[in-house]
Amino acid sequence: MSLSVKKLYTKYSTAALIISISAVFFLSCSDTKPSDPTASFIKNDYFDTELFFKTEVDSLKQANPEVEKTVSKENETETKTLKIKNWENELSSFTAIDLRKPAYSSEFKIDTIGNQINYTAKNPELDVQRVSILLDEAKNPIEIIVEKSTKNMLYSTDEKLSYAKGAKYSVEKNQSILILGDNRYIIQGNFISK
């Protein structure tokens, strides 16, 4: 092989090697989004409610929507239209739920029916009794409903949390405390679209 052919061969071999390495690098770094959007929220069969609501809090902080908020306690109801200043605080009942806690490991029966994932507690003494996640046609979570229950000798509390992405949220709480009696309140927020 002549010297010029050898140089040309080496030059093209090096270029081919660089192109091959670059292709492998770019393919491995490319944004490979899962085909199922819920996959980013599901880890070991459990929907990451904590991550979902933290993502929602960040989104709501940025969008700063106007909300028609109604608070009902016993026989009194008050409704105001306002902008929520602290979404972490407003949705704290939602962000506190974490299905992936070690204490919940293997504690739920998981059913998927159509576009809905249901987590139902196997143990009636677990504080979170049921979580239902409704997905849209593209498999994005659009509504989450949580039922909680706590009972002991001093008090019992039943709570229902509902969050419909971009539409509304609510917290309903019924509490019965020994000696003090019953207490019930409902907080509802409806996002006002403009």
Q: In tens digits, what is the pLDDT along the chain, a chain of 194 residues?
A: 554 544 444 444 444 434 444 444 434 444 444 444 555 677 667 888 988 999 999 999 999 999 999 999 988 999 999 999 999 999 999 999 988 888 888 899 999 999 999 999 999 989 999 999 999 988 889 999 999 999 888 889 999 999 999 999 999 999 988 888 888 999 999 999 76
The answer to whether the beta carbons of residues 137 and 115 sit under 8 Å apart is: yes
Task: Give the E-state strand segments of 24-136 in sequence order.
Answer: 42-43, 46-47, 66-73, 76-83, 108-113, 116-121, 128-135
Phi-psi region of 181 (alpha: psi -120 to 50; beta: other; left: phi over 0): left
Q: How far apart are CA 59 and CA 13, in angstroms?
A: 50
Tell me, what's the pLDDT at 163? 98
End-to-end Cα spacing for the chain? 75
| 64 half-sphere exposure, CB direction, 13 A CA radius | 2
